[in-house]
Amino acid sequence: MGMKVEVAVHGRFHAFALAKGLYGEGFLGTLHTTYPSFAVRRITGTGLTLNCAPHLEVIRRLAQRSTGHDVTDFILPRFGRFVAQNLGQSGADLLVGWSSATVEAIPVAREKGMAIIVDRGASHILHQNNILAAAYQQLDLKFPGISQRLIERETTEYLAADKIMVPSKVAEKSFIHQGIPSGKLAVVPLGVDVDRFQPVDRSSRFRKPRILFVGSIGIQKGLPRLLQAFSQLRREAELHLVGPVESEFSSALRGLPTDGVTFHGPIAKEKVSDFYKNADIFCLPSIHEGFGMVVLEAMASGLPVVVSDQVGAADVIHNGESGYVFPVASEEVLTEIFAELIFNSKLRKIIGQAARQVAESRENTWEGYIDRVVPVLSRVSQC
C-alpha cells in the first residue's frame, strides 16, 4: 500500500497523534499546522516533515490573552491559503484537513488529484448551533451564535469532501440528521496515551473526595447542571474546575451556586495529569461533545468517570462498571451518581480500576486509533 497523506490542522487537536501514527507507518507526507516546528517535535518526538505557520498561532494566542477575543474567523482563511500554497509537495494522494480550516485547500487538492477527508471532532456545526441556542434560551441568556462565516466554511467542506471523519456515534447521528448520507461518514473513535496518564493509590487520602472537571467553563460543557448537582453535596465533597471561563458565561456564573468550588483557570496540557492524580471522581456533563479526550485521560488515570449521554466518549464506557452515563437533562440522576461515589470509596476504587482496564486496552490507545484510521484513509485514497 503506497498511500501518502498530508494532514492540515489549525492548532493541535488530535492531529498530532494522527500524524505521528501515520509517520510511524510510513504513510505521512507533510503535517501542516500553526504550531512552531520545535513544539511539534517536542510533542510528537518524531522527525516528520512539517509546514508551519507559527505567526498565526502567535496572533491567536496574543489576541486571546490581551483582549479575550476569538480571532478564529481571521486565522482560518489565512491558514487555508497557507496550506493551499504548499500542498502536494510530498506527492501525497490524500489530504486530511481539519474542519473549518480546509476550504481554500480543497480546489488545489483536487487539481493535484488528491482525495479529501474532512476531520470534524464535533457534531455537525448546525446541530451544535441549534443545541447551544436552545440551552442559552433556557437560561434566559443572549446567544452570540456561531459565526455565519464559520458555518459556511464548514458546510462547504462537508459537501466537497470525499469522506467526513467523526469520533463518535453521537457526532455521526448529528450529520445524518442534517442530511449527510451515512456512507459519507466514517466513525473513528480517538485514543489516549496510557503511559502519560497513570493511576495512583488514592486509598490513604483523609479529605473530602474531589470531583474534577477539565475543559472550557461554559454552557456547552454543561456547567450549570454540574454546579447545581454538586451544590446539594457541597459539604461532602469538593469540585475543582480546570479551564478558562467563557466570556459569555461570566454573568450566568454569578447566579449559580459556587460554594465548595475551586476555579483553577486554564493550565498547560502538560500539567493536566497532576489534576487527575489529585482527583477522586471525574465529570464531563456536556450538552454537546463530539468525543471528549479528557474522559479517556481520566479513565487511564484510574478515575471513575461520570458523563452525559451527549458525550461521544460515552461509547467506551460500560455504564455502572467502568463509569457512569447519565441523561443530559437529568440533574437528579447526576446528583444521585455523585452521592453514590462520594460516600463509597471502595466503589470509587473498583470503578476506577475498571476504567483503567478499558483505557489501556489497545482499541482505546492511540495505537488502536491508528489501527482504525489507516484502513479508512486507504479506502478513500484509492477512490
C-alpha distance across the termini of the chain, in Å? 14
Q: What is the mean pLDDT of residues 227-252?
A: 94
Per-residue confidence at 263, pLDDT binned at 50, 70, 90? very high
Sheet holding 163-166, edge to edge: 50-52, 28-33, 5-9, 94-98, 115-119, 163-166, 185-187
As its CATH architecture, domain 5-190+365-381 has: 3-Layer(aba) Sandwich (3.40)
- Bridge-partner residues for 204, per DSSP? none
What confidence tens digit (pLDDT) does each residue in 194-210 have? 999 999 998 877 889 99
DSSP states along 228-282? HHHHTTTTT-EEEEESPBPGGGHHHHTTS--TTEEEEE---GGGHHHHHHH-SEE
pLDDT at res. 250: 87
Question: What percentage of the chain reaches a pLDDT higher than 90?
Answer: 87
Per-residue confidence at 383, pLDDT binned at 50, 70, 90? confident
Element (H, E) at 224: helix 223-231
| Domain coordinates in residue numbering, the chain | 5-190+365-381, 210-363
Question: What percentage of the chain reaches a pLDDT higher than 70?
Answer: 99
pLDDT at res. 191: 98
pLDDT at res. 63: 83
pLDDT at res. 115: 98
Query: Is the pLDDT confidence value at 126 over 70?
Result: yes
Query: Is the pLDDT confidence value at 1 over 70?
Result: no
Q: Which residue has the cell 494566542?
A: 61
One fold for 5-190+365-381 and 210-363: yes
Q: What is the mean pLDDT of residues 17-22?
A: 97
Superfamily of domain 210-363: Glycogen Phosphorylase B; (3.40.50.2000)
What confidence tens digit (pLDDT) does each residue in 331-362 have? 999 999 999 999 999 999 999 999 999 999 99
Q: Model-level pTM?
A: 0.94
What confidence tens digit (pLDDT) does each residue in 277-306 have? 999 999 999 999 999 999 999 999 999 999
Q: How far apart are CA 190 and CA 296, in angstroms?
A: 9
pLDDT at res. 64: 78
Average pLDDT, the chain: 95
pLDDT at res. 369: 98
Q: What is the mean pLDDT of residues 212-217?
A: 98
Per-residue confidence at 44, pLDDT binned at 50, 70, 90? very high
pLDDT at res. 75: 94
Return the minimum-mean-pLDDT range out of 42-46, 209-213, 308-312: 42-46
Q: What is the mean pLDDT of residues 83-87?
A: 96
pLDDT at res. 132: 96
What confidence tens digit (pLDDT) does each residue in 244-256 have? 998 889 888 999 9
Per-residue confidence at 17, pLDDT binned at 50, 70, 90? very high
Query: Is the pLDDT confidence value at 170 over 60?
Result: yes
Query: Is the pLDDT confidence value at 130 over 60?
Result: yes
Q: Is 26 left (phi over 0), alpha (psi -120 to 50) or beta?
A: left
pLDDT at res. 123: 97
For the purposes of burial, counting CB atoms within 10 Å of the CB of 45, is it exposed (0-12), middle (13-18) or buried (19 or more)?
exposed
pLDDT at res. 204: 76
Pairing of strands 261-265, 281-284: unpaired
